Structure 1
Amino acid sequence: MEGIKAASSMVILNLLYFYGMCDMVKDSLLQRYFSKEVRSDLYGAESDIVQACRRLLDERQSSNVMHFLQAINERHDLTEDLKKLQCKSLIFVGESSPFYAEALHMSSKMDRRSSSLVEVQACGSLVTEEHPYAMLIPIEFFLMGFGYYRQPPPSSSRGSNPARPPSSHSCIAPELLSPENLGIKLKPIKTRVAIEV
């Protein structure tokens, strides 16, 4: 798989060198970052975000894109450094991403007590662009592990229960937690929730 990706990158680099930002290069880059569902719908029309990216690629100088791709190809292996990583990490990856295997590899090498992997269905590499709302609940759970909680909205009714402890409210509506509503497959995200008594 690595060999195929390296060969693909070399083809893109050669195309950029000889032909500049041609349609084939743009299509290859868009396939690299966006899922098939976003690149075209049932009628073959591209989504707004893909059209915007295509326009942005037209504005970029081929040499700058070449330098970017060369920098990616020349990165050194971070596997050993991942084992020493001290901070908590949340990894998002789209199921259709060409970097899916790399995300799984990274996750397997990191300390499971301080990292979590979230796989987003029907999504390419740019989860923030394709399914930003699918990131909200995993990020909320992740931050809960640090003791951050969303404050409940101020109650305007007098019928509220003042004796209710602040942490007993639900941070997330239960119906939103179903995989169908999330559009994601959640790997276990370890959180510590302090319960006030």
Structure 2
Amino acid sequence: MSNLLYFYGMCGLVKDLLLKRYFSKEVRGSAQVLESDIVQACRRLLDERQSTNVWRFLEALNGRPDLTEGLRSLHCRSLIFVGENSPFHSEALYMTSKVDRRYSALVEVQACGSMVTEEQPHAMLIPIEYFLMGYGLCRPTLSVSPRSPLSPSCISPELLSPESMGLKLKPIKTRISTVV
């Protein structure tokens, strides 16, 4: 795709390949079904972009270093969403196999491509709720299986500190105005 983009620019084939890479077949449409609004919007945005910038973006993605070695030592909780029709589905499964299962969970969303947040945002609600319950940030509405990687009982206490969750808390300074 990078070579096509470099030599031919933002042609129809490159747009179709990019859309196929990120969106499921259902959302992209067919002869009988129109493209969804999000795919039409992305197609318009691709028309507006300079092909050299999109090419540079793809080259930056292709040049990223491999993170596999550091995944085993990752101790923050991770929630990985992947669409069942995503071209990155096998990569998500591989990544999940390399991360400590006590700290991660994989959510596979049916009839979805790579853009889960755009295609089926409602499918993310319950997994995110369970994820937040694990940190005590959300009250449970359903019963959670004690063996689930999203279960609050699976979290070691040191992971519940604000620093381990990536939060940098600073004290809030307040001023009390005195009336004279």
- The answer to whether residue 74 in structure 2 is matched with residue 75 in structure 1 is no
Q: TM-score, normalised by structure 1?
A: 0.72
How far apart, in 1, do the equivalents of 2:124 and 2:71 lie?
A: 23
How many residue pairs align between the two structures?
150
Shift of 1:42: 6.7
d(CA) in 1 for partners of 2:56, 2:112: 26
% identical aligned pairs: 67
CA displacement, residues 90-140 of structure 1 (integer Å, 9 cap, x when unaligned): 000000000000000010000100100000000000000000010010000
Q: What residue in structure 1 maps to residue 29 of structure 2?
A: 40
Q: Normalized per residue, which structure has more helix?
A: 1
SS of the residue corresponding to residue 103 of structure 1 reads helix
| Post-superposition offset of 1:192 | 1.6
Change (3 A) 1:42 1:25: closer
1:16 equivalent in structure 2: 5
Instruction: Give per-residue Cα distances to partners, 1:49-77, cap 9 Å, x unaligned.
Output: 10000000001111111011111111221
Give the counterpart of 1:171 among 136, 141, 153.
141
Match of residue 178 from structure 1: none
Q: Residues of 1 paired with 2:149 and 2:32: CA distance?
A: 38
> Which aligned segments of 4 or more residues in structure 1 are displaced greater than 3 angstroms?
none
**Structure 2 runs not aligned, ≥5 long:** 154-180
Give the superposition deviation at 1:190.
2.8
Q: TM-score, normalized by length of structure 2? A: 0.78
Shift of 1:17: 1.6
Is there any run of 5+ residues in structure 1 with no aligned partner, and where? 1-11, 151-169, 175-187
